[in-house]
């Protein structure tokens, strides 16, 4: 009998809406947040028009907000956000489904294009066995550069990164939960794909 693996997307699936904007707001004071968002308008216009890809656009956002911040300082703020804000925006239905998997001794992974540093504390407290997410680069002096360490964890990259932590996926019966185009490849590898399943109360096949 195959082992059971449950893979949960984060933004829009485990939580209501997007976590990045919330984190940027939490990380900055309102004046700095507004000023930096204004500065990013040309980048967002170029992204919307298809002149730059999402990877490049997100790096520019991260570089503007986080570049040359000491890693330790960043992680302290990320941990506070993780444990004080994320619990307020999780979907109760998603948590109930997670608890069902955990109660059935299924391996549970959280996967996200969001920043690993602010996902880890909450995910560990929620009982996920692994977190697969976007990582930020740190330079030799211990400061964040704002660039990615690796690729943006979205689309096919989600599947590639999951294979790094659970190499042979053929040994698993896979449940996958997602809510957007960025989860398409993830849902395609699942035996039991669930798309936007937590937006309303429903019963699940088991």
d(CA 166, CA 96): 24
Ranges of each domain in the chain: 3-195
Q: Which two tokens stand for residue 158?
A: 């989600």
Reported as a single tens digit per residue, the pLDDT across 12-36 is: 999 999 999 999 999 998 899 999 9
Percent of the chain past pLDDT 70, that is, above it, reads 97
Q: Domain 3-195 belongs to what topology?
A: Rossmann fold (3.40.50)
Residue 109 bridge partners (DSSP): 7, 130
pTM for the model: 0.90
pLDDT higher than 50, residue 205: no
Reported as a single tens digit per residue, the pLDDT across 2-14 is: 899 999 999 999 9
Distances (CA, A) of 190 to 118, 163, 172, 195: 26, 13, 9, 11
To 10 degrees, the CA torsion angle through 154, 157, 163, 166? -20
Q: How many CB atoms lie within 10 A of CB 48?
A: 10
């Amino acid at each position: 009998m195959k082992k059971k693996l449950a893979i949960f997307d984060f933004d829009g699936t485990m939580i209501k809406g997007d976590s990045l904007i919330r984190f940027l707001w939490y990380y900055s004071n309102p004046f700095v947040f507004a000023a930096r968002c204004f500065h990013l308008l040309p980048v967002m216009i170029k992204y919307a028009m298809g002149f730059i890809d999402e990877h490049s656009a997100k790096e520019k956002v991260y570089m503007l907000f986080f570049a040359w911040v000491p890693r330790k300082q960043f992680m302290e703020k990320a941990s506070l956000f993780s444990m004080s804000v994320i619990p307020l925006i999780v979907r109760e239905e998603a948590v109930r489904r997670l608890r069902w998997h955990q109660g059935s001794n299924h391996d549970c992974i959280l996967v996200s294009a969001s920043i690993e540093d602010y996902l880890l504390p909450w995910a560990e407290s929620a009982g996920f066995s692994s977190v697969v997410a976007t990582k930020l680069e740190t330079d030799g002096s211990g400061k964040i550069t704002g660039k990615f360490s690796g690729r943006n964890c979205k689309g096919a990259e989600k599947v590639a990164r999951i294979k790094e932590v659970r190499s042979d996926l053929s040994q698993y019966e896979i449940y996958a939960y997602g809510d957007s185009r960025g989860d398409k490849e993830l849902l395609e590898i699942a035996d039991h794909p669930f798309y936007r399943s937590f937006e309303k109360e429903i019963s699940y096949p088991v």
